[in-house]
C-alpha cells in the first residue's frame, strides 16, 4: 500500500520517518524499532502513536513509500 511519510533529515542527510499518513489521517512515529538496507530500498520498523507496529519501505530510486506490514497492538 503506497503511503505518504513525513521525515526528518539527520545529520548525514538520511531521512527518518516522523509521521505516517494513512489516507487523511496523520499518525505520529513514537519510536523507530529497527532499520535496515536492501540494494534498492530502506526499511523502517516503527511504533506509532495509535499503538501500532508498522514496517515501511522507501524506494530510493523513485522516492516512494509503501506500508509493508501493519499490526495493531
What pLDDT does 60 receive?
82
CB 72 within 8 A of CB 10: no
Secondary structure, 3-state, 16-30:
EEEEEEECCEEEEEE
Residues 6 or more apart whose CB falls under 8 angstroms from that of 19 comprise 5, 6, 26, 27, 28, 29
Quickly state the pLDDT bin for 1 (edges 50, 70, 90): confident
Residues 6 or more apart whose CB falls under 8 angstroms from that of 2 comprise 64, 65, 66, 67
Q: How many domains does the chain fold into?
A: 1
Quickly state the pLDDT bin for 53 (edges 50, 70, 90): very high
Domain that includes residue 61, residue range = 2-72
Quickly state the pLDDT bin for 63 (edges 50, 70, 90): confident
What pLDDT does 15 receive?
81
The whole model's pTM is what? Answer: 0.89
Amino acid at each position: 500500500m503506497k503511503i505518504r511519510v513525513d521525515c526528518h533529515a539527520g545529520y548525514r542527510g538520511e531521512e527518518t520517518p516522523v509521521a505516517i499518513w494513512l489516507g487523511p489521517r496523520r499518525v505520529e512515529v513514537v519510536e523507530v524499532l529497527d532499520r535496515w538496507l536492501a540494494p534498492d530500498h530502506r526499511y523502517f520498523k516503527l511504533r506509532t502513536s495509535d499503538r501500532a507496529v508498522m514496517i515501511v519501505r522507501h524506494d530510493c530510486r523513485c522516492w516512494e513509500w509503501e506500508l509493508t506490514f501493519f499490526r495493531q497492538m
